[in-house]
Amino acid sequence: MNFMSPLLTGRLSYSGPDVARQWARCLDMYLWLQQQVDAQIGRVIDKLAAHPEIDRNTVVVFTSDHGEYAGSHGLRGKGAAAYEEAIRVPLYIRDPRGHLTPKPGDTRIQLTSSVDLAPLLLSIGYGGNGWRAEPRYAYLADRADLVAIAKNPAAQGRPWIAHVTDDMSVEEMTTLLKSPNTRAVFGPSELPTNIPTSSPSHILAVRTRDAKLASYSYWKPGGMDVDTSRPIEREFYDYSTRLGVQEVDNQAGRNRKEVGLQELLDHKVLAEVRAPLPAFLDDAQQQGLADMRQLVARRGG
């Protein structure tokens, strides 16, 4: 952990004689992490191969919770934005029987979301989509059918996908980095704690095949309502242009396509995000809210 912490959280230069070496070192670390994951996945696959009777009835699904900026947009790590490099993740399906993967090695280009993973696993476990008719799974029934997409490259994906997150604010991160527990792990001299910058951490984004719209706002202190008295930042990228695909030409307020995505964000994305959870999750939700309020109070509001 200690040898990685300067690369994960230490300061990197954007100019000067050492900038190329520092960024190359950061990329080296990310490649090393990928190699470690590859080795561990290999152990799982090798163990299955050693037991053919288990292997032929085992579907392996590999994905991730986030990507890596790796220098794109002048950033490293993850979070704090809605750029493709951080929010787009891999999804691999290995099915020795070929039911889900009739042509191994094929790729798919449909839009799908992480919220479609639970239905995928249910379909694998049930041996089909029969679970979608069960009342207890009603809240999942309209999710995208990843099994159909895996089987058929022409199957329908999502018309749009959403990205919603509330990253740690800079102030919260500073408090965390100053805590004794964090310093005990990383060491007192390896973590930056004097960070005078603030940035909006409530992120809402919607993406279609043609474009992406993202909004960045602040919460009201101690609650979960957007503070409209503070500026709301927006990014809009038109994927019909080269710089739009790279998400480096922000056309917010300058592109007619933005209106359609804003309507999606206002009427579809927010409706889905704010939809009530199933009743059986009420207790967990209330506990989560109570924990959040307690944490906010501990940090001084």
| pLDDT tens digits for range 149-172 | 999 999 999 999 999 988 765 556
Cβ atoms of residues 243 and 219 within 8 Å: no
What was the pLDDT predicted at 299? 61
DSSP 8-state code for residue 219: B
Confidence of residue 93 (pLDDT cuts 50, 70, 90): very high
Average pLDDT, the chain: 87
DSSP 8-state code for residue 235: E
Mean pLDDT over residues 217-237, rounded? 86
Mean pLDDT over residues 19-28, rounded? 87
Portion of the chain with pLDDT greater than 90, in percent: 61
| pLDDT tens digits for range 39-56 | 999 999 999 999 999 999
Confidence of residue 147 (pLDDT cuts 50, 70, 90): very high
What was the pLDDT predicted at 38? 96
Backbone angles phi, psi at 20, to 5 degrees: -65, -45
pTM of the model: 0.84
Structure tokens at 193: 């704690």
CA–CA distance, 206 with 215 (Å, rounded to integer): 9
pLDDT exceeds 90 at position 5: no
Mean pLDDT over residues 104-129, rounded? 96
pLDDT exceeds 90 at position 237: yes
pLDDT exceeds 50 at position 99: yes
Question: Sheet holding 211-217: strands in order across?
Answer: 161-166, 202-207, 211-217, 233-238
| pLDDT tens digits for range 167-214 | 765 556 666 666 677 667 666 655 555 554 567 888 999 999 999 999
What was the pLDDT predicted at 176? 65
* Signed CA dihedral, 155, 160, 166, 168: sign only: positive
| pLDDT tens digits for range 74-88 | 888 888 899 999 999
What was the pLDDT predicted at 277? 87
> Residue 217: which of 199, 234, 232, 197 has the closest Cα?
232
What was the pLDDT predicted at 171? 56
What was the pLDDT predicted at 14? 74
Confidence of residue 294 (pLDDT cuts 50, 70, 90): confident
What was the pLDDT predicted at 3? 46
Structure tokens at 173: 């991160």
